[in-house]
Amino acid sequence: IVRERGAWRRVKNSRYARRITANTPIDIGGPARGAELMRTAADPDGVRALGTFGNCAGGRTPWGTYLTAEENIQDYFGNYALLQKERGADDHIVASHSRWSMWNTHSLYGWEAADPRFDLTRNPTEPYRFGWIVEIDPRDPTRAPIKRTALGRFAHEGANSIIAPDGRVAVYMGDDAKFEYVYKFVSDRRFDAKNPSANRDLLESGTLYVARFDANGSGQWLPLVYDEKGPLNKAAGFRNQAEVLIKARAAASVLGATPMDRPEDVDVNPVTGRIYIACTNNDRRAEESRVAHYRGREIDLGPNPANPRPLNQYGHIVEIRETGDDHTSSAFSWEVFLLGGDPSGGRLVASVASATAESSYYAGYTKAEELSPIGSPDNLGFDRNGNLWIVTDGDQPDQSNNGCWVCPTTGPERGRLQRFMSGPIGAEICGCEFTPEGDTLFLSIQHPGSGGSVTNPISHWPDGEGTQPRASVIAIRKEGGGRVGS
């Protein structure tokens, strides 16, 4: 796309344009490259996967590449029940798939009927080749995308990075599922601003961590590292470092990470360096501590300090500060920044400690009449002033449509959340991506009209009456110019 005479337009036949699909050859990089679980009959060396799908928000790197996030890959694979019953099936493989809630018979999309890759009885290791962060170089269409296995395998919502004081790169990620975890990757090598080509493989090696949120407001990043004398060893079901990363969810559980309320986007404030986690919602969070068998593991379904509300219908946002403001640190402090809900009618509280399932909390801001209600925070973004931008996917306290909100994170107006835009009926709003100058905000309008049908559409976005709704990308600018939101 390019902006000409004040309007954005698509560049037809651009040399940068390409389509990356479920059939695009993609290199496998990192510690899981060539691992036994990554090998299939079509790729016996386990070095090149076919395709990427289930992609979500992703993120940008300091060296100009794009990270796309493979999220709900389980919806593409079928016949898990048949694999479980199959005589001679590898128990190690069968058990590890349970954490992804694979489909017992027909998958959600039925791809196994058209391509045997997606039939678990015929290709039981194919799912291990998905659920990764994929790095794409938009400036070099001839370069194959790369699955960066050092960043772990789970239902990735996004991957947002920052250069630490010592030059290494930290990448923050959330696993978008109920009672899953928050992760951080720290590269081994340092960013080289003078030699961009030297950064091409910065994500090839490093350490993956998972977060534990302690009750006193402190926290620890726990390293997912194979160690025969440590917790992540053969006795725990991991035969090497590749398997720790392939089964990152199981490894995080062994380490005692904190189960969260659908941690989706995790982004870094470019001004303060603080990290924000959007926890969208969790209607399975019990009212009190209750250990139960959930997704192949024993878990406490009750509230915890970082997820303080039962039946968390409207979600919340957690704020992290790394110790010493060093994004390679293994320790951090944290607090709940926002509890979604309706601040009117006396439901706004000044302290998280006094919150109930019906309460809302806005970083301590107490003027309810100046606040906009919000629910189900999803993707996050920041403008150049460090204001937090939030888009939503789910129930809103006032039954309005999903949309985009903006909120200061510092100063006397910290927590003063205001609604910026309202989306079409049935749509999820994604994006929060600004141009470098901050004068255009791009938002994605995803699945407008959801809840309707072809014969009875409830939305006609964006083409108007008599048309079917279509997903879209919109560009928002300020009349008269200047930074959006200023």
The amino acid at residue 320 is I
Query: Which amino acid, 396?
Result: Q
- Give strand ranges (E) for 110-215: 133-136, 146-148, 160-163, 168-174, 178-180, 182-190, 206-213
- Tell which residue, 83, 125, 118, has the closest CA to residue 104: 83
> Using one digit for the tens of pLDDT, what is the confidence trace for 442-484?
999 999 999 999 999 999 999 999 999 999 999 999 998 999 9
Which value, in Å, is the radius of gyration of the alpha carbons in the chain? 22
pLDDT surpassing 90 at residue 208: yes
Q: Give the Cβ contact number of residue 205 at 10 Å.
A: 14
Query: Could you report the per-residue pLDDT of 375-386, keeping only the tens digit for each?
Result: 999 999 999 999
Beta-bridge partner residues of 289: none
Given its phi and psi angles, is residue 324 left (phi above 0), alpha (psi -120 to 50 degrees) or beta? left
Q: Is 30 left (phi over 0), alpha (psi -120 to 50) or beta?
A: left
For 239, the 3-state DSSP assignment is coil
Query: Confidence class of residue 66 from pLDDT cuts 50, 70 and 90?
Result: very high
Task: Report pLDDT for 58.
Answer: 85
pTM: 0.97
Percent of the chain with pLDDT over 70: 100
Q: In whole angstroms, what is the distance from residue 295 CA to residue 69 CA?
A: 22
Which residues are CB-neighbours of 189 under 8 A, at least 6 positions away?
168, 202, 205, 206
Model pLDDT, residue 11: 95
Tell me the C-alpha distance between 435 and 218, whole Å: 35
Interval 76-96: pLDDT, tens: 999 999 999 998 889 999 999
| CA nearest to 375, candidates 363, 358, 355, 388 | 358
> Rounded to whole angstroms, how far apart are CA atoms 79 and 71?
20
Question: How much is the pLDDT for 171?
Answer: 98
- In tens, the pLDDT along 331-372 reads 999 999 999 999 999 999 999 988 888 999 999 999 999 999
What is residue 157's predicted lDDT score, i.e. its pLDDT?
95
For residues 420 and 442, what is the distance between their CA atoms, to the nearest angstrom?
Answer: 13
The mean pLDDT value for 39-64 works out to 96
